[in-house]
Amino acid sequence: MAIFYNGISGPFSGKVGDVVGSKWRDINCIRARPKRSKKPKQQGQIACNNSFTLIHQTLMSMEGLVNECFASYPGKGTGRNSAHSYNGTRAIIQTGNGPAIDFSRFLFSWGDLDGTKETKAWANGPLTLLVSWDTSTTTKKASPDDEVICLTYSRKSRAVLIIRETVRKDGYLHYELPGGLAGEEIEVMIAFKSHRKGRFSQSQYVGRVDLEPKKVSKVATEEVNDEQSRFCKPINLHAGSLFSCQR
């Protein structure tokens, strides 16, 4: 692919023989017309394609969030494309059943705002999730009023839950989950956003919480990882369901 600068007739767009002119991120480009390959795909190609599809579908279910939280990632890409670039090379693992996401290495937010040193997540009943974090900070970038963004992801139903109801100084989040998540395991992550300067922290993995009725005391912790409950209504998507809670 080559970059095409405007000439006397302006940018070239369309097809001429085997040459295609198009615009990519507001840049005029010229490339060769794509051709379908008749060669059988190798196992490595199949694994790569499956990994790409998994990351793409996962990020599409939280596209608005990653476009916002990954906007400061180096490069010219959109937030979602930047998140794909990062997670596609760091958070994918190969299993006997194909590719899977290692959420302990997955990021939905990128930035230099202070995160937190200690986090915990656990269930207090089949549909009650509690998350806690250390409120102390080490730099002047952080503030007690920084917004807390909590993200949960269910591998089984691919349901995404976004919670934006608390601030850093609260140190605690308590909310009722939608009934559709009963009996599932959810991955829990958090990040912080500064309203004063628009900075984000790098998201942190809190842990996996089992919502089975007989296993309501499981606590997941990780090194870097309101008293009011709110019910979240689902929005059906082609790749799963999205549950979004905001103030």
Biggest alpha carbon–alpha carbon distance for the chain? 72
The percentage of the chain sitting over the pLDDT mark of 70, rounded to a whole number, equals 79
pLDDT band at 30 (very low <50, low <70, confident <90, very high): confident
pLDDT single digits (tens) 114-157: 999 999 999 998 899 999 999 998 888 899 999 999 999 998 99
Q: What number is the average pLDDT over the span 178-202? A: 93
Sign of the torsion angle spanned by Cα atoms 173, 179, 180, 183: positive
Is 187 within 8 Å of 152 (Cβ atoms)?
yes
Report the alpha-carbon distance of residue 119 to residue 72 in Å, rounded. Answer: 24
* Predicted structure pTM score: 0.74
10: left (phi over 0), alpha (psi -120 to 50) or beta: left
Q: Phi and psi for 148 in degrees, rounded to 5? A: -100, 125
pLDDT single digits (tens) 46-103: 889 999 999 999 999 999 999 999 999 998 889 999 999 999 999 999 999 899 999 9
